[in-house]
Chains A and B, each alone.
Chain A
Amino acid sequence: MKNQLQKNYAVVIIGGGPAGLAAALGAREAGAEHVLIIDREVETGGILNQCIHSGFGLHYFKEELTGPEYAERFSQQVLSSKIELLTDSYVLNITPDLKLEVISRNHGYLNLQAKAVVLAMGCRERTRGAIRTPGFRPAGVMTAGLAQKMVNMKGVLPGRRVAILGSGDIGMIMARRLVLEGCQVVGVFELHPYSSGLSRNKVQCLDDFDIPLHLSTTVAFIHGRKRVEHLTIAPVTTQYVPNLNQSWDVKCDTLLFSIGLIPENELSARLRIKMDPSTGGPQVNSTMETSLPGVFACGNVLHVHDIVDFVSEESLRAGRFAAELALGMRRPGDNIALYPGENIASCVPHSLSSDREQIIYLRVKQPVKNATLSIGDRYEKKFKRLIPSEMVKLTLPPKILDHFFGERLRIEVSSGEAE
C-alpha cells in the first residue's frame, strides 16, 4: 500500500469503525471507483474491537455475534472490495472544497482531494467533568470505555473494588466483565429512576451476578488523594438534587463513569456544519448529507445509536448517497422539514423528500406505555412501550407523502401513559 496512495478519491470516509466500514461498502456498491477509509487506529473496527461481549448482528446478520466478529465480517468485505485503507492516520482538517490535510504513520503528510466525504468518527464518552462530581481527583476514576480497553485489549485491570456510576450499556457490560476477571463490583449507581441501558443487559450483566443496581442515586463525593478510597453515595430527589442527609459510604478503589456518549464532531465544527443540539451531531437531509454540500454523516457521529446494526444500515445508505453525488447523480432535494414535537427527544434525518422510502430514527424523552407515534396526519403507529434508552426505527413508504403539499411535518408521541 505504501507509495501507491493516490491523491484523488470519489469518496473519503473518516473513521474505520462500523459506520465507516459500512459507508465504504455502500459507496462501492453504488459504483464509486476510488473509496478511501482513514482511521487513527492501527486496524479498522473501531470501538467494536474492545466490545468482546455478544449481542451484535441480530438485525443485520440474523445471528448473535461479538463486537470483534461483527467488525471482522465488515473488514473482510472491505478488504475484498478494492477499498483503500489508511490506518494509523489522522485527518487534521477538511476545507469546504473537500481537500483533506492528513497525517499518516506510513505516508507522512498528505493532501487529498475528495468528491464526497463521509463523517464516521463515532462518539466519545461523557466524563466526570460533565456532571461535576465533587471530591478529590485521584487515580482510579475513569470512563467505562477506557476500563474496557484496558481489560479487553491491554490485559490490565482498572482496580480491585469497583463502583460504576451510570447504568448505560457499557457500564453494565463492564460490571459483568470485571466480575469475570475477579474484581468486586460494589454496585451500579443510576441517577434516573430507571436504568439507562437495555433491559437485557440489566438481566444478564447485573442480575446474573447479583450486582446491585441503585436507582435514583449518585456519587456525591469522591474520597482519596492518590487513589480512590471511598465514595459518598446519595439518593437524589425527583429534581435530581442529591440528598446528602441520607447519604452512605461505599469503599472501593475504582469509579467508572458510564454516563452517556457524545458524538465526536471536532471536524464538523471546524467545517461550520449546522448541528442539531438535541443529538449533538450534524443536521442531515434524507440522503444523510450535512449542511455542507458533499459532506455526509452517519453512525454515532450523527446521533448515538444503541445497537450497531442500525449504524451499519444507516451508514450503508450514507455511503451510497455519497457515491451517487461523487458520480454526478443528484437526487431531488428535500421538500419537507421534519421536526420533533411532543415527547420526541430527537429525530434523524431533519428533512424528507417525497420521492423515496424514508428511514427515520428517533428517541422519546420520557418512557411511555401504549403510545401512538404520529407524523403529521400522514402516519400513525402504536407502540406498547417506548423508552429513551431504546431508539426507534421507522421505515416509511414513499406513498405516505403522496398528495402532501405542506412544507413541514411534526413527529410526535401522544396518548401514552407515563411509565
Chain B
Amino acid sequence: MIKKNLTCISCPMSCQLELTIDNGEILQITGNGCKNGETYARQEFTNPQRVVTTTVACHSGLWPRLPVKTVAAVPKDKVAHVVRALHGVEVEAPVQLGQVIMENVAKTGVAVIATRSLPQTRLNNSCENP
C-alpha cells in the first residue's frame, strides 16, 4: 500500500489530496474539499488530461492572434501534439465565439474552438510580422 500526494487543479482552492493506492488501485482519497477533487484524483492517477489553450493566426482580425482551446481535456501526453497541429493554422476574420477551428485535433477526437469573437476591422496601427 502506498500514499501519493496530488494538488487538485480543478479550482483555485488547490486542495492537497492524498491517495491511498494498493496494487494500482485507489483505495481512498482524502483532502478534497468537494467532489471534483475525487474525480480529478481518479483521472490524474489513471489518465491525466489537460485542456489546451493557445492561439492561431488571424491576420484579417482586430488582433493578429485568435485565442483557441480544446473543447474538452486531452491526454496530457498529447498537449504538445495539439499545439504543434495548430502552429501554422490561419483563420479568416470575422470569427465567432465557439467557432470550430479544427476538428479532431492531433487525432484526439477533440475539437478546437475560438474562445472569443474577433471582428474583421483592423487597428490601423497594429503592424506585425509579414
Are any A and B Cβ atoms less than 8 Å apart in their complex?
yes
Which A residues lie at the B interface, using CB under 8 A? 42-43, 49, 52-55, 58, 64-69, 71-72, 151-156, 180-181, 198-200, 202-204, 208, 306-307, 385, 390
Residue-wise interface mask of B (1-28) relative to A, using a CB-CB cutoff of 8 A (1 in contact, 0 not): 0000011111111101000000000000
Of A71, A156, A390, the contact of B129 (CB 8 Å cutoff): A156
Q: Which residues of B contact A52 (CB under 8 A)?
A: 53-55, 67, 69, 115
Q: Shortest distance in angstroms between B110's beta carbon and chain A's nearest beta carbon?
A: 14
Whether B12 pairs with A307 at a CB distance below 8 angstroms is yes
A385 to B13, CA, bound (A): 10
| B51 contacts chain A at the CB level, 8 A cutoff | yes
> Are the CB atoms of B116 and A72 closer together than 8 Å?
yes
Report which of A43, A49, A58, A203 forms a contact with B11, defined as CB distance below 8 A.
A58
Choose from A68, A156, A390 the contact partner of B128 (Cβ within 8 Å): A156
Separation of A354 and B5 alpha carbons in the complex (Å): 44
B 51-86 binary contact with A (CB < 8 Å = 1; else 0) = 111110100001111010100000010011001000
Closest A residue to B86 by CB, please name it.
A180
**7 tightest A-B contacts by CB?**
A199-B14, A68-B116, A52-B67, A200-B9, A200-B14, A66-B115, A155-B64
Look across to chain A and name the residue whose beta carbon is closest to the beta carbon of B63: A153
Question: B12, A68: Cβ atoms under 8 Å?
Answer: no
Q: Are B63's CB and A72's CB within 8 A?
A: no
Question: Which residues on B sit within 8 Å (CB–CB) of A385?
Answer: 16
Of the listed residues B67, B79, B128, the one surrounded by the most CB atoms of chain A closer than 10 A to its CB is B67
Q: Is the CB of A155 within 8 A of B57?
A: yes
CA distance A152 to B14 in the complex (A): 26
B7–A54 contact, CB under 8 A? no
Q: In whole Å, how far is A393's beta carbon from the nearest beta carbon of chain B?
A: 11
What are 14 inter-chain pairs, A to B, with CB distance below 8 A? Answer: A53-B53, A54-B53, A58-B10, A67-B67, A68-B115, A69-B116, A72-B97, A72-B117, A152-B67, A153-B63, A154-B128, A155-B55, A203-B7, A203-B14
Would A204 and B9 count as touching, CB distance under 8 A? yes
Query: A58-B10, A390-B13 provided; 14 other pairs, C-beta below 8 A?
Result: A52-B69, A53-B53, A54-B69, A58-B11, A64-B51, A69-B116, A154-B63, A154-B128, A155-B64, A180-B80, A200-B7, A204-B9, A307-B12, A390-B12
| Distance of A252 Cα from B13 Cα, bound (Å) | 34
A180 partner, pick from B54, B62, B116, B117, beta carbons under 8 A:
B54
The residue among A66, A72, A180, A306 with the most chain B CB atoms within 10 A of its own CB is A180
User: Is B50 at the interface (CB under 8 A from chain A)?
Assistant: yes
Residues of A within 8 A of B50 (CB): 204, 208
Give chain B interface residues in 71-130, CB to chain A under 8 Å. 76, 79-80, 83, 97, 115-117, 123, 126, 128-129
Q: Would you call B12 and A200 a contact (CB within 8 A)?
A: yes
**Which B residues contact A (CB, under 8 angstroms)?**
6-14, 16, 50-55, 57, 62-65, 67, 69, 76, 79-80, 83, 97, 115-117, 123, 126, 128-129
Contacts of A199 in B (CB 8 A): 7, 14, 16
A134–B14 Cα gap in the complex (Å)? 35
**Which B residue sits closest to A153, measured CB to CB?**
B63
Chain B residues with CB below 8 A from A152, complex form: 55, 65, 67
Complex alpha-carbon distance, A72 and B8, angstroms:
27
Q: How far is the CB of A17 from chain B (nearest CB, A)?
A: 14
Task: Give Cα A67 to B97, complex, Å.
Answer: 12
Residue ID in chain B nearest A69 by CB atoms: B115
Interchain CB contact (< 8 A) of B97 among A54, A69, A153, A208: A69
Say which residue of B9, B64, B80 sits within 8 Å of A203 (CB atoms): B9
Name A203's closest neighbour in chain B (CB-CB). B7
A203 to B123, CA, bound (A): 38
Q: Is the CB of A49 within 8 A of B7?
A: no
- Chain B residues with CB under 8 Å of A67's CB are 67
Of the residues B11, B55, B76, contact of A208 by C-beta under 8 Å: B76
**A68 to B114 alpha-carbon distance, docked (Å):** 10
What's the least CB distance linking B40 to chain A, in Å?
10
CB distance from B32 to the nearest CB of A (A): 12
A43 to B123, alpha carbons, bound, how many Å? 11
Residues of A within 8 A of B7 (CB): 199-200, 202-203
* CB–CB B51/A54 < 8 A: yes
How many Å lie between the Cα of A307 and that of B97 in the bound state?
22
Q: Are B83 and A180 in contact (CB under 8 A)?
A: yes
Q: Are B115's CB and A58's CB within 8 A?
A: no
Complex contacts, B57 vs chain A, CB 8 Å:
155
Min CB gap A312→B, angstroms = 14
A153 surroundings in chain B (CB, below 8 A): 63-65
Within 8 Å CB of B11, what residues of A? 58, 200
> A55, B12: Cβ atoms under 8 Å?
yes
Once bound together, how far apart are the Cα atoms of A151 and B52, in whole Å?
Answer: 16
Complex CA gap A68/B113 in Å reads 12
Tell me the smallest distance from the CB of B54 to a CB of chain A, in Å: 6
- Chain A residue with minimal CB distance to B83? A180
